């Protein structure tokens, strides 16, 4: 693996899940793999789980990890080719990236979409410019379109928590929209859909209110229903996430259409006591999901968060071996 931007970079998803689970039981099994190597973790936007888990994963592999909170402590970077930099940006990625590539063997970047222009967000200009101008392996810590380290941790969590039976060989996995107070990026939902589809080991359904359909580029052939109750019926895993509108890509992109409080997950949303809930965090309690669900045995949220170490470690080990 020479980069990790999406599921397309994971040639064998089952092997990556297995690798993550292996590291979970023996974190230091490859403790010298990254000896003498350095990773630069650049954050244009806030993070808790991604930052900490990536640092721990790197250290478990013997790598040195350096964090720069670009968004608050670094120079404001320009990513657009040919930009006339007479505005707020101070340094072009074309100038910064070769220097970072001299400092680091791997560079990882978090950058959120602005949710103002769909075409601009979908072009993922920041991470693509970093790849173009650095020439070293690049890892997405969440880009304008996807959050692949989160999705791999999500599949590790599903794999660990699904026990096949004679009558149920595959889990039913539902991705449900949940309410939020502000417009939220599509990255986690896009990525989750893309990974579950590519994995192919689940019966996958997506449910959201009308007006919030995700792009087919990510949802593929997964059925989409606007009836949450119907979608949740018989679910083994319910992935809860808000996202703003995609619309046609014009003024209707990145919006909240209505509060939809009836879409908040509560105990009476589920037909089975065994249905588990997932959310990548951070989460607005009693807006997206109720306390009673979050504080019940249904919740896999803590497990998912902790599994972020093992997804990062599986990815970094692949890059160290093959990058
Ligand atoms: N889920 C996730 O990416 O968390 P952070 O934003 O805290 O990194």
Does the structure show a pLDDT above 90 at 248?
A: no
- Does ligand 1 come within 6 angstroms of the Cβ of 85? no
Distance 199 CA to ligand 1 centre (A): 22
pLDDT digits (tens, 9 = 90+) for 101-138: 999 999 999 999 999 999 999 999 999 999 999 999 99
What is the rounded distance in angstroms from the CA atom of residue 244 to the CA atom of residue 19? 34
Preceding peptide of 76 cis, ω within 30°: no
Q: Please count the other Cβ atoms lying within 10 Å of the Cβ belonging to residue 20.
A: 27
> Of the given ranges (63-72, 116-125, 248-257), which has the lowest mean pLDDT?
248-257
pLDDT band at 323 (very low <50, low <70, confident <90, very high): low
- Residue in 137, 124, 129, 10 with CA at minimum distance from that of residue 63: 137
CB 316 within 8 A of CB 58: yes
pLDDT digits (tens, 9 = 90+) for 196-231: 999 999 999 999 999 999 999 999 999 999 999 999
CB 47 within 8 A of CB 53: no
Pick the CATH number of 7-146+308-322 from 3.40.50.300, 3.40.930.10, 3.30.540.10, 3.40.50.1370: 3.40.50.1370
pLDDT for res 58? 98
**Closest ligand 1 atom to Cα of 48:** 7
| Identical fold between 7-146+308-322 and 151-304 | yes
Indicate the top mutation candidate among 281, 303, 307, 312 to test ligand 1's pocket, ranked by most ligand atoms within 8 A of CB.
281
| Mean pLDDT comparison of 6-10, 245-249, 319-323, highest-scoring range | 6-10
Distance 20 CA to ligand 1 centre (A): 18
CB 247 within 8 A of CB 215: no
The CATH number of 151-304 is 3.40.50.1370
- Residue in 22, 5, 219 with CA at minimum distance from that of residue 111: 5
Using DSSP's 3-state secondary structure scheme, residue 15 falls into: helix
- Does ligand 1 come within 6 angstroms of the Cβ of 281? yes
Does the structure show a pLDDT above 90 at 322?
A: no
Atom 1 (ligand 1) nearest CA: 280
Does the structure show a pLDDT above 70 at 285?
A: yes
Atom 3 (ligand 1) nearest CA: 50
What is the residue extent of each domain of the chain? Answer: 7-146+308-322, 151-304
Mean predicted lDDT score pLDDT of the chain: 97
- Give how far Cα 201 sits from Cα of 19, 176, 230, Å: 17, 19, 21
Atom 4 (ligand 1) nearest CA: 49
**Closest ligand 1 atom to Cα of 110:** 8
What is the rounded distance in angstroms from the CA atom of residue 58 to the CA atom of residue 316? 7
pLDDT for res 316? 98
Atom 7 (ligand 1) nearest CA: 48
> Of the given ranges (31-35, 106-110, 117-121, 290-294), which has the lowest mean pLDDT?
117-121
What is the rounded distance in angstroms from the CA atom of residue 312 to the CA atom of residue 57? 6
């Amino acid at each position: 693996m020479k980069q990790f931007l999406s599921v397309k970079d994971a040639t064998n998803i089952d092997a990556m899940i297995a690798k993550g689970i292996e590291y979970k039981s023996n974190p230091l099994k490859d403790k010298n793999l990254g000896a003498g190597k350095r990773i630069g973790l650049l954050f244009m936007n806030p993070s808790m789980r991604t930052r900490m888990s990536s640092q721990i994963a790197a250290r478990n592999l013997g790598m040195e990890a350096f964090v720069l909170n670009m968004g608050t402590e670094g120079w404001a970077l320009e990513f657009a080719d040919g930009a006339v930099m007479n505005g707020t940006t101070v340094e072009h990625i074309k100038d910064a990236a070769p220097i970072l590539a001299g400092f680091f063997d791997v560079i990882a970047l978090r950058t959120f979409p602005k949710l103002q222009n769909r075409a601009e967000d979908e072009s993922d200009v920041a991470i693509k410019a970093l790849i173009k101008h650095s020439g070293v392996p690049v890892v997405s810590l969440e880009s304008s379109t996807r959050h692949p380290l989160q999705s791999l941790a999500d599949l590790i969590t599903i794999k660990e928590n699904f026990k096949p039976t004679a009558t149920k060989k595959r889990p039913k996995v539902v991705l449900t929209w949940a309410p939020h107070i502000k417009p939220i990026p599509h990255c986690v939902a896009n990525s989750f859909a893309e990974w579950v589809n590519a994995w192919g080991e689940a019966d996958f359904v997506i449910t959201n209110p009308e007006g919030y359909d995700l792009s087919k580029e990510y949802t593929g052939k997964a059925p989409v229903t606007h009836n949450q109750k119907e979608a949740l019926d018989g679910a083994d895993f319910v992935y809860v996430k808000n996202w703003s509108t995609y619309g046609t890509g014009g003024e209707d992109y990145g919006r909240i259409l209505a509060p939809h409080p009836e879409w908040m997950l509560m105990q009476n949303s589920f037909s089975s006591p065994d249905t588990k809930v997932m959310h990548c965090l951070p989460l607005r309690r009693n807006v997206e999901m109720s306390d009673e669900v979050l504080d019940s045995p249904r919740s896999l949220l803590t497990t998912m968060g902790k599994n972020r170490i093992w997804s990062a470690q599986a990815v970094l080990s692949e890059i160290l071996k093959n990058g």
